[in-house]
Structure 1
Amino acid sequence: MRLLRLAMVLLFASLPLHAAERAAVIATYAYARYDRAAALQPLATVLGEALGQAVQVRVLESPRALAAALREGSVDLAVTNTFVYLAVRGDAHLQPLAVFDVPAATLDAYRGVLLARRDRVTLTTLRLTDRPLRYAQVIPGSTSGGLVQDLFLAASGVNGSTQLHARYSGTHEAALADLQQDRADVAALADAPWQAAQRASTAGDVVELWRSPPIPPGPMVCRDAGRIDCAQARALLLNLQHKAPDALAAVVAAWSEAAGATRLVPVREPAYDALTAGFADAAAGRAVLEKLL
């Protein structure tokens, strides 16, 4: 037993310092179409080598869970969506490091739509209904499949808590299918599947009530005083296209809103402020956003 203890001590002493420390965590949220754990592993490896720090990957069940983990400090660096960033950007302990520099065509395509069953729901009936309508969204915390539509509805005078009964379909395509197959009266989803259905003449008995402006992608967010040096991580991310292009490509491939991005750039805050521009009163817009988040 004494020899075993001695062997364990010697083995521990032979490990690099960063391997003996608690690993830093880079995290994101799950989406059915992508293996995001595999997509983040090359970036985690590059960060670990550059920072001399063990880095592990975590994939949480939803954007809401990712936002909560960032706030509570169990995540050091996160690849977010717009919903998550809006939820955490008021936290003084968190800072955005970089965001995908997407081509104009990708940015223009990243929108949300609000759809309804034809001849059943209009914006007027949404405002006046006295019974909750079945409302298909994508996943809790989806930006293009829930948040932007909820902001629009609130600005239009619709009380989502009493006039809409939300259900989560899992993917944007599934939300559209729920509407087409009469499992929902209204649906929130990204514009791309809706455009594809129209091109293929498979839209069925569905009409568009509203289409959002382009949505900026969510940035990578770092926690101050965590297990990753945020300044070093920012410098690495902003040069990732030169230092580790394969790691960048792996992340881009797992986020449809990042399609075509070849680099990361500093975050521009006005793009996120514009998401509540539909409210005549800025304070009212912030209050609704806080409630939704």
Structure 2
Amino acid sequence: MTDPATVIAAGGVVWRDSRGTRQVLLVHRPRYDDWSLPKGKLTANEHVLQGARREIEEETGLQVVLGPPLGVQRYPVRKNGAIVAKLVHYWSATPLDDTDFQPNSEVDEVAWLPVDKARDKLSYPRDVDILNNLDRVIPVASTLILLRHTEAVKRKDWDSKDTSRPLSSTGTGQAERLTAVLGALGADRLISSDAERCVATITPYAASIDRHIHLWPEISERGYDADPDALAGLAEKAWRPGKVTVVCSHRPVLPALARELGLRVGKFSPGAFVVAHRLGDGRLVHERFSAP
């Protein structure tokens, strides 16, 4: 468990291919007179993926989509007169636009540099270590987000059909907060069980990007109980090249569904999810998150 005094931060290696050369974006911070990777501290109760995207945008002016993780830095910093640990989580990040940079109080200059030159310009060896991980996780062929629906009204408190059982007030809040998290990952294809609690989990995000939710009855509890073999072949439909696909299902179905999708089986609390990236060479890079 992380010490409450620990400073949690997040950021990324923003990259692009320009005229056959891979470039990364560095930022100059006048307060420290250093060149570093864009990052910053999380706000209270902010999900780490949301925080990484926000900090990158605040420091560079660019909206990005986060890709595979690049590692975590741990080093001491001073906080309230004491020395505490700082943890910084990094992801690869690709820009959605080419907005012109505007200097701000934290960053007065940015530079797009070829990777080799960026290594030389970075002020800290720990940032070079993160940058060196970039080539290991790109390009990404497709991404899959396997999600358990957020908290629902308890079965004992619901008198109608189980498929129509709604989210609780806690689950509704989790679903709303998922919007920013799924946006940080660039989710652009949405698949759900046909049960109300699954559909409602991703409806706020679907509305935010004006995207249709594809209903798969076979990944509902009722559908799986009726025909467990119906999951066979879903991996080919779920892994869509060039897409970031969300698949929302139920706790009893998720172990079998994860196996079918080629993912590790694990426990999912309400609103928890796995982000899996299939790389160009066929390898999988994945990480687990709790509900936002």
Q: Larger C-alpha radius of gyration, 1 or 2?
A: 1
TM-score (norm 1): 0.25
Larger RCO, structure (CA 8 Å, separation 6 or more): 1
Q: Looking at secondary structure, tell me which structure has more helix per residue.
A: 1
Q: Looking at secondary structure, tell me which structure has more strand per residue.
A: 2
